[in-house]
Structure 1
Amino acid sequence: MEDHDIIILTDERYETPDESRWYQAQLLGEERLLMAGLEARGLRTARVAWSNPDLDWSGARAAVFRSTWDYFERFADFSAWMDRVEGGMLLFNAPKLVRWNLDKHYLRDLAERGVNVPITRFIERGETTSLREVFADCGWNEAILKPAVSGAARHTYRLNASNLEAHESVLQELLRVESMMVQPFLASVLTHGELSLMVIGGRCTHAVRKIAKPGDFRVQDDHGGTVHPHTPTAEEIAFAEAAVAACPQSPLYARVDAVRDESGELSMMELELVEPELFFRFHPPAADALAAAIAARL
Structure 2
Amino acid sequence: MTCDVALLTDRRYTATAAAEGDWYMSNILADDGLLQAALARRGLTSERVDWADPGVEWSRFRCALFRTTWDYFDRFPEFSAWLDRVERQTRLCNHSPTVRWNLDKHYLADLDARGVPVVPARFLERGSAQPLADVLTEAGWDEAVVKPCVSGAARHTYRVNRRTAADLQPLLDGLLAAEAMLVQPFQADVVRTGEDTLMVFGGRFSHAVRKVPKAGDFRVQDDHGGTVHDYTPTAEQVELAERAVSACHPLPVYGRVDLVRNNAGQLAVMELELIEPELWLRHHPPAAEHFAAGVAAFLTP
Q: Using a 3 Å threshold, how does the CA distance of structure 1 residues 291 and 19 change in structure 2: closer, same or farther?
A: farther
Which residue of the partner structure matches residue 8 of structure 2? 9
TM-score (norm 2): 0.96
Question: Aligned runs of 1:149-298 on 2, under 5 Å?
Answer: 149-298=150-299
Distance 2:96 2:263 in 1: 35
| Distance apart, 1:65 and its partner CA | 0.2
Please report how far the alpha carbon of residue 25 of structure 1 lies from its aligned counterpart in structure 2 after TM superposition: 1.0
Instruction: Map residues 2-41 of structure 1 onto 2, 5 A cutoff.
Output: 2-16=1-15, 18-20=18-20, 21-41=22-42
Over the matched positions of the two proteins, sequence identity in percent amounts to 55
Q: Secondary structure at the match of 1:250?
A: coil
Give how far 1:263 is off.
2.1
Q: Which amino acid aligns with 1:12?
A: R
Question: Which residue matches 1:98?
Answer: 99
| AA in 1 matched with 2:3 | H
Supply the distance in 2 between the matched residues of 1:158 and 1:240 (Cα, whole angstroms).
26
- Structure 2 stretches lacking a partner, 5+ long: none
Moved over 2 A (4+): 17-20
C-alpha RMSD of matched pairs (Å): 1.0
Taking a change above 3 Å as real, the CA distance of residues 19 and 39 of structure 1, as seen in their structure-2 partners, is farther
Seen in structure 2, the aligned counterparts of structure 1 residues 19 and 34 have a Cα distance that, compared at 3 Å, is farther
Q: Once structures 1 and 2 are overlaid, which stretch shifts more, 10-19 or 236-245?
A: 10-19
Aligned to 2:116, what secondary structure does the other structure show?
coil
Query: 1:178 Cα deviation (Å)?
Result: 0.2
Length-normalised TM-score, structure 1: 0.97
Deviation at 1:149, TM superposition (A): 0.4
In structure 2, distance between residues paired with 1:58 and 1:221: 35
1:18-47 Cα offsets, whole Å, 9 max, x none, are 332110111111111111111111111110
Corresponding residue of 1:64: 65
Deviation at 1:109, TM superposition (A): 0.4
Structure 2: distance between partners of 1:257 and 1:239: 10
Task: Give 1:232 deviation, angstroms.
Answer: 1.5
Show CA shifts across 1:195-250 (max 9, x none). 11000010000000000000000000111000000011111110000001111321
Bigger mean CA offset, 239-248 vs 271-280: 239-248
Instruction: Report deviation, 1:161.
Output: 2.7
* Conservation of the 8 A alpha-carbon contact between 2:137 and 2:162: no
SS of the counterpart of 1:240?
Answer: helix
- Is the CA contact (8 Å cut-off) linking 2:4 and 2:45 kept in structure 1? yes
Q: Using the alignment, how far apart are the partners of 1:119 and 1:161 within structure 2? A: 17
Taking the aligned partners of 1:51 and 1:115, their CA distance within structure 2 comes to 34
Whole-angstrom distance in 1 between the partners of 2:60 and 2:185 = 47
Aligned to 1:133: 134
